[in-house]
Structure 1
Amino acid sequence: MAELGTRGHAGEAHHSSLGERLNWLRAGVLGANDGIVSVAGLVVGVAGATADRTAILIAGVASLVAGALSMAGGEYVSVSTQRDTEQAALNLERYELETMPEAEERELAEIYEGKGLTPELAAEVAHELTEYDALEAHAEAELGIDPDELTSPWHAAWASLLAFTCGGLLPLVAITVPPVAWRVWACATAVAVGLVATGWLSARLGNAAPRRAIVRNVGVGMLTMVVTYAIGVLFGVATG
């Protein structure tokens, strides 16, 4: 029983790794959602101005590539900044553990005492954790950082690029494959289905009500397509 209590159930995900996976999944869902709305808005706008399949396809591919690269680059820069900040905090923690270990152990004990442990038990826990892995114990308690689980900016960039691309392909295929008379309606239907899926997934991941998330998601996507289609029609009439 003691061994089970310290190690947990076999195969059970640790809280930190589970949270990390959920964050990646949320980012993937949001990236796919951005791809759907961004590419759909552009191709529907172009379809409102012209019936030329090649023009719509070129515009859609350009939007897909530019959006995916922009998402990947933004995610890379953002996560790199976060990782640099975490590394700086960990370096400072290492320095403090080397130069003032007693003060750091007292600080760790005070943290656990603030969580409800008695002073004696908090001091014992702090000492045991410091003896086992001082940096990990102090980083998690003081900084909320796991030194072994820092986010990779390259992983974040590739995940965003892939998610945006998968989402953007949905409206691109839906508007270029059907006949001219059905393009916009086929694209709107495909986008609505995609946004229902991403809205439901984002709500489930955040333990929120799916209906409100779906309505909000689909509403924003449909509004985007209506506005861009109207602009495309106006420009098509003006230049026709």
Structure 2
Amino acid sequence: MRHSERHRTHRTGWLRAAVLGANDGIVSTASLVLGVAAAGTDSEGVLVAGIAGLVAGAMSMAAGEYVSVSSQADTERADLVREKKELATRPHYEHAELATIYVNRGLDAALASEVATQLMAHDALAAHARDELGISDSLSARPIQAAFASAGTFALGALLPLLTVLLFPPTALLWAVACGSLLSLALLGSLSARVGGATMSTAALRVTFWGALAMALTAGAGALFGVAA
């Protein structure tokens, strides 16, 4: 029988990194542009600061994602090595452990034992990785994928505030960057929720609120130090 249900769990790895990158690209670059502009810097200086923020931010996102997801991958590999040793030295204990997991999920003891026996006969390590450790192919850590997804979407997100600097005069720059960035954040939240199968309005409101707060605080700091200078 053909399986017609559509699940989205397999997207969580790259989707999380992509949404994080795009969100940070919009928020950090827009905040930087607003802060520098509020300090009284001319359009050329604002643009240079924004471009520097784009490059630095994209590289920082790539490095951060790669390091953090690599740490997760290292932990997963270490757990699999440990589990493989335990399967080789204590197979009966591991069988009982797996059967207990299935009992806790609702199977009776006899059926749980039989399921554990058959799964371990097919691929013992895969069965324990999936049901004991929570590691599966679709959810396993992929450092390079996360790094590229995060850096690429950061750069795309950062382009909007930079294009706004080019298109709008200095007198309208603050409002144009703020409004355009908040609209982009709302669209990003809605799109990511749609791809992930979540509630679009909740996701849009969440990213817009935190983006607005970040931009307001940065613009306030820029205005304060600009006046002080």
User: TM-score by structure 1 length?
Assistant: 0.84
Instruction: Out of 226-235 and 81-90, give the one that drifted further.
Output: 226-235
* Equivalent residue number for residue 3 of structure 2: 9
Quick one: distance in 2 between partners of 1:92 and 1:167? 41
Match of 2:210 in 1: 220
CA 1:229/1:103 → structure 2, altered by over 3 Å: closer, same or farther? closer
1:151 aligns to 2:141 (yes or no)? yes
Please, which of 94, 112, 122 is the counterpart of residue 122 of structure 1? 112
Distance 1:222 1:114 in 2: 45
Q: Please state how far the C-alpha of 1:103 moved relative to its aligned partner.
A: 2.0
Residue type of the alignment partner of 1:53: S
- Give the superposition deviation at 1:234: 3.9
Find the counterpart in structure 1 of residue 158 from structure 2. Answer: 168
Q: What is the alpha-carbon distance in structure 1 between the residues aligned to residue 189 and residue 136 of structure 2?
A: 31
Query: Match for residue 21 of structure 2?
Result: 31
- Cα distance in 1 for residues equivalent to 2:140 and 2:51: 34
Give runs of ≥4 in structure 1 deviating > 4 Å.
Answer: none
Q: Structure 2: any 5+ residue segments left out of the alignment?
A: none
Q: 1:44–1:229: 8 Å Cα contact kept in structure 2? A: yes
Percent identity over the alignment is 50
Contact 1:86 1:145 in 2 (8 A): yes
> For the structure 1 residues 133 and 76, does the alpha-carbon distance in structure 2 shift closer, same or farther, using more than 3 Å as the test?
same
Structure number with the bigger relative contact order (C-alpha 8 A, sep ≥ 6) is: 2
Deviations for 1:137-188, whole angstroms, at most 9, x for unmatched residues?
A: 1111110112686322111111110121111111111123222222222212
Hey, what does 1:184 align to over in structure 2?
174
Q: TM-score, normalised by structure 2?
A: 0.88
SS of 1:135's equivalent in the other structure is: helix
Q: Which residue of 2 aligns with 1:44?
A: 34
When residues 106 and 226 of structure 1 are mapped into structure 2, their CA distance, relative to the original with a 3 A threshold, is closer
**Is 1:112–1:122's contact at 8 Å kept on the other side of the alignment?**
yes
- Picking from 47, 67, 74, the partner of 2:64 is 74
Inter-CA distance 166–119: structure 2 relative to 1 (3 Å threshold): same
Q: Does the CA-based 8 Å contact 2:17-2:147 persist in structure 1?
A: no
The offset of 1:238, in angstroms, is: 4.2
The residue identity in structure 2 corresponding to 1:207 is A
| Aligned-residue RMSD, C-alpha | 2.3
Partner residue, 2:101: 111
| Comparing 93-102 and 192-201, the one that deviates more | 192-201
Partner SS for 1:116: coil
Look up the equivalent residue of 1:89 and give its one-letter code: D
Letter in 1 for 2:123: D
**1:234–1:106 distance in 2 versus 1, CA, 3 Å:** closer
* Pairs within 5 Å for 1:64-103: 64-103=54-93
Q: Which amino acid aligns with 1:114?
A: N
User: Equivalent residue of 1:151, what SS?
Assistant: coil
1:233 aligned residue (213, 223, 229)? 223
Extract unaligned runs of 5+ from structure 1.
none
* Alignment size in residue pairs: 228
